[in-house]
Amino acid sequence: MKFRYAMVCSSNQNRSMEAHNLLKRQGLDVASYGTGSHVKLPGPSLREPNVYDFGTPYKQMFDELRRKDPELYKRNGILQMLKRNLSVKLAPQRWQDNAGDGVFDVVMTFEEKVFDSVLEDLNNREQSLMKTILVMNLEVKDNHEEAAIGGRLALELCQEIEGNESWEDTIDDIVAGFEKQHRRKLVYSISFY
């Protein structure tokens, strides 16, 4: 493994965890995060989401929702998603609180506002190492089906990056090839640690 990857969505539940799971199974060095102020999961209605603090174990969320309404949370896929998540790591983590986790080479986000949050956070950090970091956004709707597709695309993209000696020299070609093959737009920026 040449590079270290971070997968980032809003709540570190669906899109980032699907990608984290796939990359981890393929042996890539990967972590995942969310950028929101809280972790939100669908509830009985749009006005009644289940809200948790980052750091709340996936197992605790799973047990609570299974007690609240097992049929609802099984039917909408939340219990299955949480079961997957707890097999990957203990709890959702917040990107803005991750400085102690070390540096990443590539950060993949799945929503434009998350991309913007990651870049803003990196720009606000002290950039003492002057080490480049590639931040990419692959727009993925926040539902289970799209997360599965987005996770596979993120894996393919990261494997393509991993296959190069230096992403800095090949990123334009990698992005152009990806966009042509998948007809999906990628946005990327380069920042520094």
Q: Would strands 50-52 and 39-41 be described as parallel, antiparallel, or unpaired?
A: antiparallel
Residue 165 has a pLDDT of: 85
Give the tens place of pLDDT for each residue, 58-82.
999 999 999 999 999 999 999 999 9
pTM for this predicted structure: 0.96
Residue 100 has a pLDDT of: 87
Q: What is the mean pLDDT of residues 102-106?
A: 95
Task: Identify the band that residue 109 occupies on the pLDDT scale cut at 50, 70 and 90.
Answer: very high
Q: What type of residue sits at position 155?
A: L
- The CA–CA distances, whole Å, from 62 to 104, 153, 184, 185 equal 30, 27, 33, 34
Residue 139 has a pLDDT of: 98
Residue 127 has a pLDDT of: 86
**Distance from C-alpha of 77 to C-alpha of 71, rounded to nearest angstrom:** 10
* Helix, strand or coil, per DSSP, at residue 89: coil
Residue 19 has a pLDDT of: 98
Give the tens place of pLDDT for each residue, 125-162.
988 888 999 999 999 999 999 999 999 999 999 999 99
- The tally of CA atoms less than 13 A away on the side-chain side of residue 135 is 24
- The CA–CA distances, whole Å, from 80 to 2, 72, 134, 147 equal 32, 12, 32, 13
**Distance from C-alpha of 155 to C-alpha of 173, rounded to nearest angstrom:** 17
CA 180 to chain CA mean position, Å? 23
Residue 124 has a pLDDT of: 93
Q: What is the mean pLDDT of the chain?
A: 96
Q: What is the mean pLDDT of residues 37-44?
A: 96
Report the CATH architecture of 4-36+94-192.
3-Layer(aba) Sandwich (3.40)
Residue 1 has a pLDDT of: 66
Name the segment(s) of the chain with CATH classification 3.40.50.2300: 4-36+94-192
Q: Are 155 and 16 in contact (CB under 8 A)?
A: no
